[in-house]
Chain A
Amino acid sequence: MFADYTMTELTSIFAMQGFAGLSLFSIFVLMALGLAIIFGQMGVINMAHGEFMILGAYTTYLTAQVFESLMPGLYGGYFFVAMFLAFVVTFALGALVEWLMIRHLYHRPLDTLLATWGLSLILQQTYRSVFGAREVGVSLPDWMMGSIAVTDLVEIPINGIFVMVLALLIAFAVYLLMYRSGWGRKVRAVVQNRPMAEAVGIDSGRVDRVTFALGCGIAGVAGSAFTMIGSTGPTSGQLYIVDTFLVVVFGGAQSLLGTIASAFTISQAQSTMEFFLSGSMAKVLTLLVVVGILMLRPQGLFAMKVRR
């Protein structure tokens, strides 16, 4: 399959597809970070994670609409407001869902899966009723348009770079929060030994709620970033949920670094193969390899040593 191309062409193809894969990588990282917190730390399977992301995307869309009609002069900066709002909205919904539903199910992880699937159906139908079945998109501010030409054959779009930088910044922030803050220490304490954590005075119920809400909030920011590179429809979130779960499991559920590494591997593999095979076969092959590796190494790439 490589024989038809010259060496320079191949290099450019790999570079182009590599950069194309980076936007998929950004989506994976942003979605997987929230999931890694909720699933990795709390053991809750949140099937509605994609819908939380889409909620963030719709919030961004609404913010963009408001800016466009009321203060077009400030349109260049709407994104930062939108991102903040998306975080607040999804954080609040996450906290509500945790209080109503998830907290009753902590000892039944398989049932959280079913309940959150039900939630995802309800949210999807709500989006469909409110925003319509058609996909909506935001117009990018001027400074995000265009692309940087690296060589004659390789061009990188600016919005892609922006989203990737954003993804990495958020990943770094999550790292600081989980491993360098007092709150993160509490979360990890509750994960490792709930009764002992409670005994030393940690309000584990509150930690659970904030952790879940935070995971959802990150999904909201992910949705905000998602509007930069794709359009938003009621079922856009569901498209990514299976891939994202594979990313989290493949990386080793409790490792943030593993999550990023596996997001990178999967997105790059898929994107590179897409050039040579059809899109669907590239995806099939990538997922098959991931599932195959997971069957051989169920604990994922970067596993925390746990006694079972």
Chain B
Amino acid sequence: MKANRFFDWLMSREGIYYVLLAFLLVVIFPLALDAFRLNMIGKYLTYAFAALGLVLCWGRSGILSLGQGIFFGLGGYCMAMFLKLEASSPENTAIQSTPGIPDFMDWNQLTALPWFWEPFHSFSFTLIAVVAVPALLALIIAVAMFKRRVGGVYFAIITQAIAAILTILIIGQQGFTGGVNGITDLRTLMGWDIRTDEAKTALYFVCVGMLFLCLIIGAWVMRSKLGRILLAMRDQEDRVRFSGYDVASFKIFVFCLAAMFAGIGGAMFTLQVGFMSPSFVGIVPSIEMVILCAVGGRNSLLGAIYGALIVNAAKTFFSESFPELWLYGLGVLFIAVVLAFPDGLAGLYRRYVMPLESKLPALLRRNGGNAPTLPVEETK
């Protein structure tokens, strides 16, 4: 019964889009692109994790977080700490004055591993930490804010301030975090060299797999009763509260979920790119994650993934060829997406392509019957 329902959904119109995306990521990109470009696509997709979280958190529930970089960074740093410890085995670091600790600690005259680095010798602990650390910080922030009914603009500013604080902290505590350079020179994962082309391709598929896991969780949340409550909360918070729902708990849940997604994205970023630095934590990357989500369509999970791919590809293209133009382009993109098409690419698609799509089978069959159209979601 359950499998049958899943099959029906897969064959439905919505299911087709998921299948198309999977086809694009699993078949077309690996076949069409060389290992270097595929690795770049994998890097773009790690931002899509954060964008997915923002769809749930911002598009669906109306909570704008300007701090997704915090969680992305925490996830990435957890993974980087594990890889760094593996790369700094006593044999590899024999020339240091204290062998067996990461090189940047040695440069900063540290003689012992700090206590919070110790558990990262364990891979299973690291895997848990990648989601648990961002979720825990998100929980603290969310409980403190939402239980006091702080939301909207104030929440955005506070999360942005926390992103700034974390960046300054990481840069300032050079001996513990690698400072402004971040944690670099990562080599192996459980003895498996992650710098080879084969490893990078394998990691790309792991990344796509994780992305689809998050995507399915997100789609489930959107379709469930929980998703409806979130939507109602965004549009009429007081009515939801007066209907007896504990609004704060729902907000806390969705914010933590978004943080976990971003954390996974960060860890995948570290694995594929081979380093982690504070420049992926602060205010600017956090707000760029929002624009990925906004360009794709703040109400559409699939849109967020396409948004992440397209914006990042454009960023790479322009910063390689016309570095001057990129900031103008990004600025115009921010303004345009807000003023001209607030529903992003997904909105444009629903408006212009979908009507054509429903005409298509009718034209082919020449019976003039109208296929049913999906309702268009309105943004507030």
Using known A-B contacts A43-B153, A110-B153, A284-B172, determine if residue A245 contacts B161 with beta carbons closer than 8 Å.
yes
Interfacial chain A residues near B168, Cβ < 8 Å: 280, 283-284, 287
> Which residues of chain B from 148 to 204 have a CB within 8 Å of any chain A CB?
148-150, 152-154, 156-158, 160-162, 164-165, 168-169, 171-172
- The answer to whether A115 and B327 touch across the interface, beta carbons within 8 angstroms, is no
Choose among B64, B156, B324, B327 the residue with the greatest number of A CB atoms under 10 Å from its CB: B327
Chain B residue numbers with a CB within 8 Å of A111 are: 338, 342
B231 within 8 A of A: no
Q: What residues of B have a CB within 8 angstroms of the CB of A105 in the complex?
A: 338-339
Q: Using Cβ atoms and an 8 Å threshold, which residues of chain B touch A125? A: 324, 327-328, 331
Cα separation A120 to B141 with both chains bound (whole Å): 28
B137, CB-defined interface residue at 8 Å: no
Q: Is the interface of A mostly helix, strand, loop or mixed?
A: helix
A122 touches B338 (CB 8 A): no
Interchain nearest-CB distance for B156 vs A (Å):
6
Chain A nearest CB from B159 CB (Å) reads 10
Query: In the complex, what's the smallest C-beta–C-beta distance from B96 to chain A, in angstroms?
Result: 24
Minimal Cβ-Cβ distance residue in A for B283: A242
- A296 / chain B contacts, CB cutoff of 8 Å: 144
With A284-B165, A287-B164, A295-B148 given, is the CB distance from A115 to B335 under 8 Å? yes
- Whether A114 and B157, one on each chain, are in contact in the complex, defined by CB atoms closer than 8 angstroms, is no
Most buried by B among A45, A279, A298: A298
A47 to B317, alpha carbons, bound, how many Å? 27
Q: Closest chain B residue to A44 by CB distance?
A: B153
How many Å lie between the Cα of A122 and that of B334 in the bound state?
10
Q: Are the C-beta atoms of B337 and A114 separated by less than 8 Å?
A: yes
Q: Check B330 for interface membership: any CB of A closer than 8 A.
A: yes
Segment from B73-81, B267-275, B286-294, B351-359 that makes contact with A = B286-294
B333 touches A118 (CB 8 A): yes
Residues of B within 8 A of A288 (CB): 165
Inter-chain contact B330/A294, CB cutoff 8 Å: no
B161 contacts A114, C-beta separation under 8 Å: no
Query: What chain A residues lie within 8 Å of B330 (beta carbons)?
Result: 118, 121
A114:B290 contact, CB within 8 angstroms: yes
Q: Are B338 and A121 in contact (CB under 8 A)?
A: no
B152 touches A110 (CB 8 A): yes
Instruction: Report chain A residues within 8 Å CB of B64.
Output: 110, 113
Q: Are A294 and B158 in contact (CB under 8 A)?
A: yes
Does A66 sit at the interface, judged by CB under 8 A? no
Q: What's the nearest-Cβ distance from chain B to residue A238, in Å? A: 8
Partner of B335 from the list A101, A110, A278, A280 (CB cut-off 8 Å) is A101
Q: Which bucket holds chain B's interface residue count?
A: 35 or more
Complex Cα distance, B66 from A291, in Å, reads 15
Complex interface: chain A residues within 8 A of B157 (CB) = 45, 245-246, 249
Bound-complex Cα distance A114 to B330 (A): 11
Distance of A118 Cα from B338 Cα, bound (Å): 10
Inter-chain contact B324/A101, CB cutoff 8 Å: no
Please, how many angstroms separate the alpha-carbon atoms of A246 and B380 in the complex? 28
**Residues 96 to 132 of chain A near chain B (Cβ within 8 Å):** 101, 104-105, 108-115, 117-122, 124-125, 129
A280-B331 in contact (CB<8A): no
B332 contacts partner chain A, Cβ-Cβ < 8 Å = yes
Task: Flag if B165 contacts A291 (CB, 8 Å).
Answer: yes
Q: What chain B residues lie within 8 Å of A242 (beta carbons)?
A: 160-161, 164, 283
A119 and B158 CA atoms in complex are apart in Å by 21
B145 within 8 A of partner (CB):
yes
What is the bound-complex CA distance between A157 and B328, given in angstroms? Answer: 40
Q: Give 9 pairs: A residue, B residue, CB < 8 Å, sorted on A.
A: A45-B157, A111-B342, A114-B287, A121-B330, A122-B328, A245-B157, A287-B161, A291-B162, A298-B145
Q: Which residues of B contact A (CB under 8 A)?
A: 58, 64, 66, 141, 144-145, 148-150, 152-154, 156-158, 160-162, 164-165, 168-169, 171-172, 283, 287, 290-291, 294, 324, 327-328, 330-335, 337-339, 342, 380
List 15 other contacts, CB 8 Å, given A278-B172, A295-B150, A308-B149.
A45-B153, A104-B339, A105-B338, A109-B153, A111-B342, A112-B338, A113-B153, A114-B338, A115-B338, A121-B331, A124-B327, A279-B172, A283-B168, A291-B158, A291-B162
